[in-house]
Structure 1
Amino acid sequence: MDRGRLAHLLERERDLYARRNPRSAQLFADAGHLFGRVPMPWMNKRAGAFPIYLDTARGATVTDVDGNSYADFALGDTAAMAGHSPAPVLAAVQDRLTHRGGATAMMPTEDGEWVGAELTRRFGPTRWSFALTATDANRWAIRIVRAVTGRPKILFHAYCYHGSVDESLIVTGPHGPVPRAGNVGAPTDVTTTSRVAEYNDLAALEAELAHGDVAAVLMEPALTNIGIVLPDDGYLAGVRDLTRRYGALLINDETHTFSAGPGGCTRAWDLDPDLVVLGKAIGGGIPAAAFGMSAEFAERTLARTDLDLIDMGGVGGTMAGNALSLAATRATLGEVLTEAAFEHMTGLAADYADGVQAVIDAHGLPWSLSRLGARVEYRFAPSPRNGTQSHLAQDDDLDDYLHIFLANRGVMLTPFHNMALTCPDTTADDVRQHLDLFGAAVAQLLGDG
């Protein structure tokens, strides 16, 4: 690949981006009271000189403050996998706020049991508790498994994604485990709290479990947020066997892998974890998360009278399980992210993946593509088998070029890699628009267009 040509095209696209988005540029310049000039620092993950500012969002379309509309495949990095402002969620939220009030009243509502029963039907665990983010759900699950097992460490895969959980920011290094680069203000050396192994490496996993101090393996069934890394045949069964053999629990974090189907990878691949964590998508755009466990595990935990599970013991939050979140989650699971919706979403994602692969093959590019149900991602390297390989395959300039080329022509991908997600409102025309533009971007990059 001609890197000079890539640099020229990227500069051209950034210039077009600036000319298309003057209002966004001005709002960013005026945001002097915000840390990093944005409401949350990750919003500075962008291909242009400033982020695009949101005006409206409906279904699978977003419109910015300059009036530009986009087919949205980012979908809030899974938080809007139900689409933007789905009608059943809007109705449930309006009913809760306008007609009944009490968005958060420190009282349970009947929606909680309905949601718990539906999550059991989809994922298996029979006892559920709620949070506002998957980060918190993971943190609370970690605290509980440490308490119940009496073991101090949690085992992760290198370059996994579990939100901003302190313990998860650990990777493999040439001389052993090390903190993930950029870890901000770590409370302690992560190697004192955690162990790490590469995904798809059962021998490395067993070596870490053999120390006998691992309370649980917390994992995504397929790695995400570092590209999609799928399991080798037999890998997940091997993980389950090893955790049982060495007395460690298994926690599946399905926050992103929910894209695999109505019950995530747990149901699609017939997995049998001890706990399941969910977040983002289940609330239909309203903050919501959950973690579930077996009845036996729940009873063991609740029987521990030395644990403060009710007040200040480190598990829970005043806003967690609030009436508004549970009303939105009930509407999302009951009426939006249904079996039929997933059939539609995964069908379109398959078409998307086939089209991208056809472009890659037509040009003989050494790129790869992975799909996880409704989620698709292409990488600029042969298919990585673990997180470290996927991390090393990153190409920031190519990422930026494709993101900004597509954005300048009305298609939005997640700013984290080239992840595309479909929702119930995504159409075949949206997919075709992306494929046409992806083909044009590659052709220009290679000097064929």
Structure 2
Amino acid sequence: MFNSIYPYTQEIIAEYQEHTESEIATKLLKGEKAYRELLRTPLEKRCQWMAGVAKSMRDNVKEHATLITREMGKTLKEATAEVLKCAATIDFYVENIGGMLSPRIISSDASKSYVSYEAKGIILAIMPWNFPYWQVFRFAIPNILAGNAGILKHASNVSGCALAIEKLFVESEFPEGTFQSVLLSSKHIEPIIADPRVQGVTLTGSTPAGKSVAALAGKYIKKTVLELGGSDPFIVLKDADIQEAAKVAVQGRMQNAGQSCIAAKRWIVEQPVVADFTAAVKAILSQLKQGDPMLESTQMGPMARLDLAAELGKQLQSSTAQGAHLELGGTWEGCNFAPTLLTGITSDMTAFREETFGPLAVVIAAANEEDAISLANETEFGLGSALWTKDLEKAARLATQIESGNVFINAMVRSDARLPFGGVKQSGYGRELSLEGTHEFLNVKTVYIH
């Protein structure tokens, strides 16, 4: 049994039975049948069906958002925005997928040669709880429009979200089995990866989870895309707009109660403006209201699980024992963790070396811009990064030196359907979204005509 627990009160709100081997076998059979039917369906029809999914999401946005909040704790306002972002991404792909799937003509000695992009089968998605709709839809939309079928193994604490997403596709005009959810623990995932009808695996989650899945996928020669952990640097140079940088830093660190792979986890600030930046972010953080996620006035909800809050507490205590200064917060009760600020962080401290997945902000002083880039790269992760400066030519030059999959200049790191998204180093490989993400699980077929 999987329990769904409301993080704010620890109330058990639902119980779900794990799927049996027989039920999973039936789902794989339906998925293969749906894939074969999608291959025979014109793209225009698939787009029409997907647009119907977007309409249903908008028509029932409060129901979906409430489910997200009840299962993993983000504010209802954030959950609503997440659902609407999924619907907006459907709009984008419905409008642009035709161009992304069009054959690419290549000049050669052939009478005609080109690359076609063709669906391959069932794609397995192993997804996390922190954005329980968005992470799923950013995989599902382009793959299903391209003709693949999808099977979702969601995090067990958001099983209700998994089934609600499945229901959206069941109630649409898509063939039965186009998108299905399986409720099972990770230790039982190997038979699905091994199944020859499954042609790829995409995972968003921790780096250890990515290593485990990549090993299994390699064993069975399955393509993988991994979007893993992050310890994103948020670099503030001395010529930056300090007040604007401070506002976006807090937003980037504290949204979703800090539980985001691309959260601004390390604020690296050039020495001349450390004091001003610290004062600015402290003033904003001190006004941030954490509490009941259902209330409109609440700006930050609880963390998703007790063990996650406890782990963040250990990292906080370890860092202060190592010499970090607690400027604000530092208290928690259950999953309700107060927005917390540490200063005096150095590269040998826990809050610098480890990924902190929660509302813990840290200020790291850099001697100069070269030191700031060096500190930014002093991590095993490389997912996202932000750089703040008024000198855009300098920003473009420094962006090439930052080891990450995304660099946002004077802006908060975020995922956007128009832009490819993914990481380097221990943050994974492959891309989601945009043209690059759409092609990840397609057969890039060369056709040569003499």
Higher relative contact order (CA 8 A, sep 6+): 1
The structure with the largest strand share of the pair is 2
By the TM > 0.5 criterion, same fold?
no
TM-score category, normalised to shorter length: under 0.3
TM-score, with length taken from structure 2: 0.24
